Amino acid sequence: MAKTIVGISTALGVGAISIIRLSGPDAIKIVDQVFVGNKLKNQPTHTIHYGFICLDQEKIDEVLVSIMRAPKTYTKEDVVEINCHGGIATTNKVLETLLNQGATLAEPGEFTKRAFLNGRIDLIEAEGVMNLIRSETELNRQVALNQLKGSVSEKINEIRNKIKKIIANIAVNIDYPEYDDVPIVENQKLKKEIKQLKKELEQVYEESKHGKIVQEGIETVIIGKPNVGKSSLLNALIEENKAIVTEIAGTTRDIVEGKLNLGGVLLNIIDTAGIRNTKNKIEKIGVEKSLSLIEKGELILFVVAQDQKITSGELEILKKIKDKNHIVVINKKDLVSKIEKETLKEYNYIEISTFDHESVIVLKEKIKEIFNLAKIKQQDLTYLTSARSISLLKQCLKIIKEIEEGIQQNQPPDVLELDLKRLWQELGLITGQVFEEEIIEQIFADFCLGK
Ligand SMILES: Nc1nc2c(ncn2[C@@H]2O[C@H](COP(=O)(O)OP(=O)(O)OP(=O)(O)O)[C@@H](O)[C@H]2O)c(=O)[nH]1
Ligand SMILES: [Mg+2]
């Protein structure tokens, strides 16, 4: 029998109210042992009761207790929620009392894990719960809510059902000897169906790439020589004086980070130490860090100064960023130009001055264009967002390509059937209809305590 778990569901700190939640077969019994008020055991489900949590006649806190009996609860088990006064001491004392009565401390995400294992939600919905809690922008919130509501799962299940139908058709062909050598018409039909499936999977995959951006933001790295205005650019973008700006080359020694909400997508912007050959030990480490960040960044803003010629060092950096999402930011457009734009003709570039607000807005628009951010808002926001789902989806695309080739080469139907079953399984891993214990442990371990 499942243990009864208990956890603090609200953030631990000073606040008006804390919620302590229990789930499991003894949830009501355990609270009854320390609750002075109505006998909870005799109360109808989904009711709230006023009283005190007491231990050996000592009052611990004045509380409101909600009881919710299985199965219409978050976990599909009996759930009790105690609203006690906020603050660390009271909350911990109530928790401790419940642990002493036989409840077990919940692991992070254990309530949601139970909801999954008891079949109330699937994995995408569970990930939606976590994403919703972590949402920082309005767009984050909308995507997470769609996951939680099951819109994303619906899409995947729809595709899975189609695969199931095709498998059933093939099985009929195999079972009935008159269809032994699959007629051309059948094969054509199959080809069409697979093509359609592939299209749908590709669409989910493409949209999910957006989903990842919405959920995780874009790692943006500002790089360039010393003194070209990298820190000024960070400050202008986030409209805050976060990084120190001086006319001295080598001002920024370590990275400085800032966040920008660009149409609902968060840019995690990193300002780096100017790249140059230096003997200074601290600055040297900073320069190495800057170079390594070029690899990691999803968007590189390479700043050069308009009043200087492009150096051989800068040409090296240009080579490094060519195949990445990049913008060469020609800064200090207010000064006399010495830059040869010819060198930049194969790059995305823009001329700005960090002193000129309008030009910084144009840069922001350019970033939106590169990541197609305007389109994100118009779509229906039913994305998969976790790296786990996206890599499974990639695997599915690989399998369906193999199936397509198989049909092309007139592979026997039983081989196709096996491949289709593999595809069906793999998609099931995304929603958790098919699952491995270890992976489930990992996913839920990432959750917040008490959720
Ligand atoms: N004329 C002009 N000066 C600018 C502009 N943007 C920044 N500057 C100046 O350029 C100098 C260097 O700016 P920073 O932002 O510190 O440059 P950085 O690239 O971060 O330099 P390091 O941290 O040393 O690598 C400062 O004096 C800024 O005021 C601009 O658009 N026009
Ligand atoms: Mg700087």
pLDDT in tens, 35-77: 999 999 999 999 999 999 999 889 999 999 999 999 999 999 9
Report the SS3 class of residue 122. coil
- Ligand 1: atom nearest CA of 352 is 31
Q: In what order do the strands lie in the sheet with 5-8?
A: 35-36, 47-55, 58-68, 79-85, 17-23, 5-8, 104-105
The CB of 294 under 6 Å from ligand 1? The reply is no
Report whether pLDDT(379) > 70: no
CATH architecture, range 219-354: 3-Layer(aba) Sandwich (3.40)
Alpha helix positions (H), 384-432: 387-408, 413-431
CATH architecture, range 5-122: 2-Layer Sandwich (3.30)
Q: Which residues pair with 47 in a beta bridge?
A: 67
Check if the beta carbon of residue 409 is closer than 8 Å to that of residue 419: no
- Ligand 1: atom nearest CA of 233 is 15
Q: Name the class of domain 137-213+383-432.
A: mainly alpha
| Cα–Cα distance measured from residue 102 to residue 85, given in angstroms and rounded to the nearest whole number | 22
Check if the beta carbon of residue 284 is closer than 8 Å to that of residue 278: yes
Check if the beta carbon of residue 74 is closer than 8 Å to that of residue 121: no
| Cα–Cα distance measured from residue 215 to residue 400, given in angstroms and rounded to the nearest whole number | 27
The CB of 241 under 6 Å from ligand 1? The reply is no
CA 24 to chain centre: 30
Domain regions of the chain by residue span: 5-122, 137-213+383-432, 219-354
Average confidence (pLDDT) over 245-259:
92
Q: Which amino acid is at 445?
A: A
Q: What does pLDDT average to over the chain?
A: 90
User: What is the pLDDT at residue 187?
Assistant: 76
- Here the tokens at position 47 are 């009711």
The CB of 249 under 6 Å from ligand 1? The reply is yes
- This prediction has a pTM of 0.71
Check if the beta carbon of residue 151 is closer than 8 Å to that of residue 110: no
The reply to whether 219-354 shares the fold of 5-122 is no
Q: Which residues pair with 220 in a beta bridge?
A: 269, 299
Using DSSP bridges, classify how beta strands 218-224 and 256-262 pair: parallel, antiparallel or unpaired.
Answer: unpaired
Report whether pLDDT(241) > 60: yes
440: phi then psi, degrees, rounded to nearest 5: -60, -45
The CB of 272 under 6 Å from ligand 1? The reply is no
CA 372 to chain centre: 18
